[in-house]
Amino acid sequence: MIRFIYGHNLILEPKLAWSMFEHRAEQFARRLGWEVQVDQYGLERDFYDTIGPLYAIVTGPDGGHLGSMRFLPTVGRTMLHDHFQSLSKGVETKATDIWECTRFCLAPGAPAITSNKLLAAGAGLMREYGLRKLVAVFDRRMIRVYRKSGVPPKVIGSKRYGGGMIGVGSWDYSLDHYKKLLSAAEITGDEMELYLANSDAAYETPLYA
């Protein structure tokens, strides 16, 4: 299942939230060597988790975390504008219809299709909110995963970060891309509509502060 949950509602899903932040610590701090903050409980959280992000979370049959991604409107504070603006190279990255996606995380042992489901969730969110573009900050090694979906990002820039290279890229919305990502994720349009209708994305107003 794909769930869309605003940060202030994670308190209602303590086990799911805990496992997401735990898996983020495993991926970004221990495996990728990024300079991220891991607390005394082994959870990776940062400032951007405190300012009202929307999370897309893929869950397994038991409701546990398989993968997740974080979204923020670019008219507010974002990782790209605060830390990696030099990599945008003049490309438009700040508008009400452009959102940032970061912290693309996969749980250890998650099925390969989880990546495609997260990308489809991003496209579904773009369709739901009328977004023109997503901009992303990601580990460059993820490009191979993105290409398998059939809709890779346009890479704007990159630089050395932690134990590897970090990249900035973007996805433009199109109906064709949306359909390709649904197919790669083995999800129908009706299923995506149900995921969105039964989530925070349908009932919460996007935050632009």
The rounded distance, in Å, linking the Cα atoms of 112 and 137 is 21
DSSP H or E stretch at residue 172: strand 164-172
Check whether 209 has a pLDDT greater than 60.
no
**One-letter amino acid for residue 5 of the chain:** I
Check whether 87 has a pLDDT greater than 50.
yes
The rounded distance, in Å, linking the Cα atoms of 137 and 155 is 10
The rounded distance, in Å, linking the Cα atoms of 144 and 94 is 27
Residues 15-74: tens digit of each pLDDT: 999 999 999 999 999 988 888 899 999 999 999 999 999 999 999 999 999 999 999 999
Residues of 79-114 as b/e, b for ≥16 C-beta within 10 angstroms? bbbeebeebbeeeebbeeebbbbbbbbbbeebeebb
